[in-house]
Amino acid sequence: MEADGRKKPFPCQVRRRGLIQNKEWTYPMRREMQEILPGLFLGPYSSAMKSKLPILQKHGITHIICIRQNIEANFIKPNFQQLFRYLVLDIADNPVENIIRFFPMTKEFIDGSLQSGGKVLVHGNAGISRSAAFVIAYIMETFGMKYRDAFAYVQERRFCINPNAGFVHQLQEYEAIYLAKLTIQMMSPLQIERSLSVHSGTTGSLKRTHEEEDDFGNMQVATAQNG
C-alpha cells in the first residue's frame, strides 16, 4: 500500500518488467532460497545456516525472519545476530496454530526493511508451510490479492510451497480482514464519522424497539392481573 492509499503495482506487473526471472524448477532448489519479490526471499533454514553467509551477503540480505517452535530452537537458530536484524517467531507447523496474529508484525518488519533499501529472507525449517504462509499473507495485503492468486504467484518462484490446511484456511479468512482494513484506510474522516453514525443510529433503533416490546409485554401482564 502506498502512502496515498493506492495499491502497489500488481506482482505480475513486477514480473513483466523482468525484475524477477522465473527458473525451471529442480528438486535441489528446495534447499535454496528464492527471490519472490524484489528484496523479499523465501527459503528453508538451510539457506540461513552459517555455511551460507557468503550467499546471504552476495544477495544483500539485511533482515531475516526466523520461524520456529521451541522444540526446534536447538537447531534452527539466528546465526548472524551481529550482521543481520532478526525477527524470531515461535510458531509450530500445526493446523490449529494461530498465525494471523503475527501478520501485522511481519508486514511491518518487511516493509521497514524494504523501505530502508534492505532485503529480507523469510525461513522456517523446510521453507514449505510456515514461512510460505507468511510470504503469501504479505503479498495478499500489500497488493490486494486473493489467497489463490498470491499462492500461485509465490509457487511460480518456489514450487515446493505447501502451507498446511489450517494455515490455508486462515489465509482465506485474512482476505476479509485486510480488505476491511483497506476500506477504512481509503475512507475520509467524514466518511468514517458518517458510517459510525449510521451504525450507532441502527443500534439505538434496535435498543428502542426492544424497550418498547418489553413495555408492551409488561402492559399485557398488568392487564391480565387486573382482569
> What is the per-residue pLDDT across 48-64, written as a single tens digit (0 to 9) for each?
999 999 999 999 999 99
Q: Assess whether 104 and 131 both reside in one domain.
A: yes
Q: What band does 16 get if pLDDT is binned at 50, 70 and 90?
A: very low
Q: pTM for the whole thing?
A: 0.75
- For residue 223, give its domain range: 188-227
Overall domain count for the chain? 2
Q: Is residue 72, in this structure, part of any structural domain at all?
A: yes
CA distance 123 to 161: 12
> What was the pLDDT predicted at 114?
98
> 69 burial class (0-12, 13-18, 19+ CB within 10 angstroms)?
middle
CA distance 45 to 36: 16
Q: What band does 26 get if pLDDT is binned at 50, 70 and 90?
A: confident
How crowded is residue 62: how many other Cβ atoms within 10 Å of its Cβ? Answer: 18
Q: Is residue 223, in this structure, part of any structural domain at all?
A: yes
Which residue type does 226 have?
Answer: N
Output helix, strand, coil percentages for the chain, rounded to the nearest 5: 55, 10, 35
Q: Is residue 77, in this structure, part of any structural domain at all?
A: yes
CATH number at residue 163: 3.90.190.10
Q: What band does 124 get if pLDDT is binned at 50, 70 and 90?
A: very high
At 87-106, the pLDDT tens digits run 999 999 999 999 999 999 99
Say whether pLDDT at 10 is over 70. Answer: no
Q: Assess whether 97 and 38 both reside in one domain.
A: yes
Q: Is residue 129, in this structure, part of any structural domain at all?
A: yes
Q: Assess whether 175 and 192 both reside in one domain.
A: no
Q: Is residue 3, in this structure, part of any structural domain at all?
A: no
